[in-house]
Each structure stands twice: as C-alpha cells, then as structure tokens.
Structure 1
Amino acid sequence: MKHTSTKIIGITGGIATGKSAVSSILREKGYRVIDADIIARQVVEKNQPALKELVAHFGQAILDDDGNLNRQALGDLVFSNPQFLEDLNKITHPYIFDRLKKTIEKDCLHYDFVFVDVPLLFEVYDELEEWDIRFYEIWLVYLDQDRQLERLIKRNKLSRSQALARINTQIPMDEKKKLATRIIDNRGDLTDLRNNVEEILSEFIH
C-alpha cells in the first residue's frame, strides 16, 4: 500500500455475527466503510471476467435463467466440498483484492480513518499482505457459536447441518478473539451493540 497517514481498520467476525450492523453504525457516525462483500458481488456480476471463469470451472448450473450468478446454487456446491471452496477462492480473490486495494488507496486521499469490512479477514490474512493490504487495527465482531448458528439458520433459511457446514469453513470465533486488536461484543441487542461500538470508538479516536 502506498504511504499514507490514514489509519485503516479491519472489521471482521464470522458469518452472521453482525458485521453489517457494525458497519451501518459506523456509517451513521460519518465514517467511511468499505464493504469487501459488496466488492465480491461486483466482481461476479454478469459479463465480468470472474464470473466467466467460474462458469468455465463449475458449469452452467451456477447461473440462473438470466445468466446471473445463482449464489444459492454456488454456495450449496462449494460448502459441500472443501476443494470446490478452494477453487472458488483461487478464481475470485485476485479480482476482489485488486479492486479492494484500489478502493482503499483512493479513500486514503480523503479520510483520516477508513474501515474495511472483510468477513474472512483472518482466513485470508496472508493473501491480503501479499496484495500489500495492511491494517492499523483489526476489530472483531464477536458472537458465541450457539447464537451465531441460530442467526445464520434464520437469516439464510438453512438447515442446522447446512449452517454448521458454513461456520466450520471458518476459523473458530474464540481463535479469532486472540488475533484481534479489539472485540465488539454482539451478544446483546442492537442498543447494546451500538453502545459497544461507541465505547470502542471513544477509546480509539481519543
């Protein structure tokens, strides 16, 4: 990453732990938040090179009738086979990280603080470093696995086994806690979460 005085803070967690809610709170307070998930969706839009590579690898079954990516079909495929998930990442990550890096560099020209929401930050940490994407701090949105499982089943309308399969592809939350700079506890309600974010911001900014 080009030299910058901007502090880049990574926001991460596990699937369905509340990262989007934290990002929304930060945006409400006027902070710049880059969402890596949005970038990941953009690079596999219709006619994008990454989608063409995915179709060449996994076949037409991952597309809907309009030629767009069927995320449910792709998810069912890759989360049932570790090799397929690895193949997906090998195809998409270069496109995602290239766009992510360019977005961060652009925002560093305009902001003192840039938050980057990366769902699997610790899982792809080495790759991010290879792309020279580095963080001043990493904040973890924490949720215990029982609540995480409950939220994921409800949000994505998955069976318990499907939800567990997705959670188990990620580093356990308790391991991530040891790697993070700060912990944002999301075991309460939205008001509790907002208070926790505000407390951490107060400590960090001042």
Structure 2
Amino acid sequence: MILGITGGIATGKSSVAKIFRELGATVLSADELAREVVAPGSPLLARLAERFGATVLREDGGLDRPALAAIIFADPQARRDLDGLMHPAIATLAETRLRELAARSPLVVYEAPLLFEAGAEGRVDAVLVVTADDETQLRRLMARDGVDEGAARARIAAQMPLAEKVRRSDYVIDNSQGPEAAEQAVRELFTRLREAR
C-alpha cells in the first residue's frame, strides 16, 4: 500500500512521516525528490535560473531556496511557472521510485506537501492529511522559516486551503496538540493500515 501524506505548510507532515518510518514504513519525500531534480548542473536548475534569474543560484551553483521562495510567494504567476517546471520532473521520478519501493515494502509513505496541487493523488492508494489549528500553524511557520507574521500568512494563503485537503482525504491527523498526541494517532492509523492489508 502507498499512503500519501499531505497537509498545510508547517502542520507537521515530516514529523508524522518520521513516526511512520520509526514504525517500519518505507518513506519517500517529494521534497527530497525536488532537491534531486534541481541538483547543481541539472537541466532543470538551468531552466529555473533562466526563468527566475541568476539570483536563485548560490555561489556554489546550487539552488538558493530562500531567494526562490521570496519570488514565488510574492508573485502568483511565478509560483505557477515554478510548479509547471517542477511538477513534471518530480512526477517522473516519483512514479519510478514508488513503483520500486512498493514492490518490496508492504507500506510506503509518500510525503508530498503539494499532493493535490500536483494532481499526484493517483500515485497513492489513500491520502492522510496532517492539520493544525491556524495559530499553531502560523507560530510554527514563523519559528521554522524565520519570517514575520505577514510573510507567514502569505505563504499559508498561497496554498490550497486545509479544509479542501481534508475534504479530499481518506484520513486526518490533527497535529495541534503536540508530539505525544501525534505519535498516538500515527500508531493507531499504522495499526489500522496493517490490519487492512
């Protein structure tokens, strides 16, 4: 079984995926795939520099993610252009990796923040959405990314609303109550998924 994990920015998707990994699931991260497809020297990285300017490149030739984030969160068209470049490359790599992992693991967790936005829900058998209340999400994002409240709210607003992701999901874990509650919820879901196989 392939379980897709998605949710809003700073809701704790990676923490939930980590618990699944500790319980024995195989985890594949779309963010890791995204880093792989824009490795220094890759054709896609060159296309990003062409579209967004050389300021998105670090001195060592790698992608300057904060510089790119500043551009795309301030300009909806830039964000659409980025998605148009990134999603096909990630999709090709994800489909190959998921197929390989599913052949040798009974539970594969695909952590994909933009699962619905990328139209990737067809790559998974079920979807888990990780949520958090508005204030928790805002506080976590400001602390994690070192941004002010206005920038954090803009990043949250740029994503598909959490309520829509919940509506389209099979499972929901509310990650507002802290790590112990989240771990308990993941353990319960892990057991349900294992028993359903």
Q: Same fold (TM over 0.5)?
A: yes
Quick one: which amino acid aligns to residue 168 of structure 2?
Answer: L
Deviation at 1:169, TM superposition (A): 1.1
Following the alignment from structure 1 to structure 2, what is the Cα–Cα distance between the partners of residues 199 and 11?
15
Q: How big is the alpha-carbon RMSD for the aligned residues of Structure 1 and Structure 2?
A: 1.2
Deviation at 1:161, TM superposition (A): 1.0
Asked if 1 retains the 8 angstrom alpha-carbon contact of 2:6 and 2:129, the reply is: yes
Following the alignment from structure 2 to structure 1, what is the Cα–Cα distance between the partners of residues 189 and 103?
25
Select which of 75, 86, 98 maps to 1:81.
Answer: 75
Instruction: Give the aligned partner of residue 27 of structure 2.
Output: 33
Following the alignment from structure 1 to structure 2, what is the Cα–Cα distance between the partners of residues 73 and 176?
28
Identify unmatched segments of 5+ residues in structure 2. Answer: none
Q: Given the alignment of the two structures, is residue 117 of structure 1 paired with residue 106 of structure 2, yes or no?
A: no
Instruction: Give the aligned partner of residue 167 of structure 2.
Output: 178
CA displacement, residues 70-100 of structure 1 (integer Å, 9 cap, x when unaligned): 1111100011000000111111111111111
Q: Following superposition of structure 1 onto structure 2, how do residues 1-206 of structure 1 map, counting pairs within 5 Å?
A: 7-125=1-119, 128=120, 133-206=122-195
Following the alignment from structure 2 to structure 1, what is the Cα–Cα distance between the partners of residues 59 and 21?
36
Following the alignment from structure 1 to structure 2, what is the Cα–Cα distance between the partners of residues 15 and 173?
9
How many residue pairs match? The answer is 195
Following the alignment from structure 1 to structure 2, what is the Cα–Cα distance between the partners of residues 158 and 149?
10
Following the alignment from structure 2 to structure 1, what is the Cα–Cα distance between the partners of residues 161 and 133?
10
Deviation at 1:134, TM superposition (A): 2.6
Deviation at 1:204, TM superposition (A): 2.3
Asked if 1 retains the 8 angstrom alpha-carbon contact of 2:11 and 2:130, the reply is: yes
TM-score in terms of structure 1 length: 0.91
List, as ranges, runs of 4+ consecutive aligned residues in structure 1 with deviation greater than 4 Å: none
Quick one: which amino acid aligns to residue 24 of structure 1?
Answer: K
Deviation at 1:55, TM superposition (A): 0.8
Identify unmatched segments of 5+ residues in structure 1. Answer: 1-6
CA displacement, residues 127-176 of structure 1 (integer Å, 9 cap, x when unaligned): x26xxx43211011111122111100000001111111111111111222
TM-score in terms of structure 2 length: 0.95
Asked if 1 retains the 8 angstrom alpha-carbon contact of 2:132 and 2:176, the reply is: yes
CA displacement, residues 29-52 of structure 1 (integer Å, 9 cap, x when unaligned): 111011001100111111011101
Asked if 1 retains the 8 angstrom alpha-carbon contact of 2:20 and 2:190, the reply is: no
Following the alignment from structure 1 to structure 2, what is the Cα–Cα distance between the partners of residues 202 and 20?
19
